[in-house]
Amino acid sequence: MLKKERQAFILHNVNLHNRVLVGDLSEGINVSEDTIRRDLQELADHGKLIKVHGGALSKSFHSSFNSSKVYALENKKRIAQKAASLIQDGMFISTTGGTTIIELAKALPENLHATFITGSLPAALEYMHHPNIEIILVGDKLSKSSQITVGGEAITRIRQIKADICFLGTNALDAKQGLTDNDWEVVQVKRAMIESASKAVSLSIAEKLNTVQRIRVCETKDIDVLITELDPESPELAPYKKSGVKMLL
């Protein structure tokens, strides 16, 4: 693979998943980890990503207040509009982090009265602009890479609240392998939200379907509803339907 192709692969994956690991990239394109590190450094020097220990972060995710830089923005807006239709007055809603969750916050109707539980600082700031939303911010330890609170304090608080719906920002989803991520602490927070909610809803652009990362959040059958930008009858969604997941029009 040529250097230009290799770096295009890296950029696509970092923008798609927000965070990538050197080891995963090395395996994905069958080159040495040293080669990946050099590519990451070069891309960081050109301002195309943020290089961190062990991998890289997406600049679009860390510029989430500037919507023009968000990857696949129009598809995420479509997903957010569909997700907002599930929320009713009086509900308690838990949300993880991510750019699709931020678009959900922007899509909420002004007359909605609901309570949102989150550890995501960007999402909480969006909820603050809403005139009738109550916000419960959980946790006291912040993950800089994911911009979400993690650790025992956040998990304990989440488990104390029975949410009507949990909206999950999705890193990777596969019909056989389930919902996966590459950040151990964020995975624990997502698991707690799923366990404490009456309904778990995964928000995922189609590009993240049939992809797998290292740490399982939950099995596919643990997801009640999957919302994508695709038509619910799309063949791409058939394996998820077989697992019992509902699709939203």
Give the domains, in start order, of the chain with CATH numbers. Answer: 3-59 (1.10.10.10), 68-247 (3.40.50.10470)
**Sheet architecture: strand order including 92-95:** 133-137, 114-118, 92-95, 165-169, 200-203, 225-227, 246-247
Q: For 16-29, write each residue's pLDDT tens digit.
A: 988 899 999 999 99
DSSP letter (8 states) at residue 205: -
Q: For 26-65, write each residue's pLDDT tens digit.
A: 999 999 999 999 999 999 999 999 999 999 999 876 655 5
Which residues are CB-neighbours of 235 under 8 A, at least 6 positions away? none
DSSP letter (8 states) at residue 120: B
pLDDT at 110 over 70: yes
User: Quick one: CA dihedral 85, 66, 11, 35, positive or negative?
Assistant: negative
Q: What is the mean pLDDT of residues 59-85?
A: 84
pLDDT at residue 63, as a whole number: 59
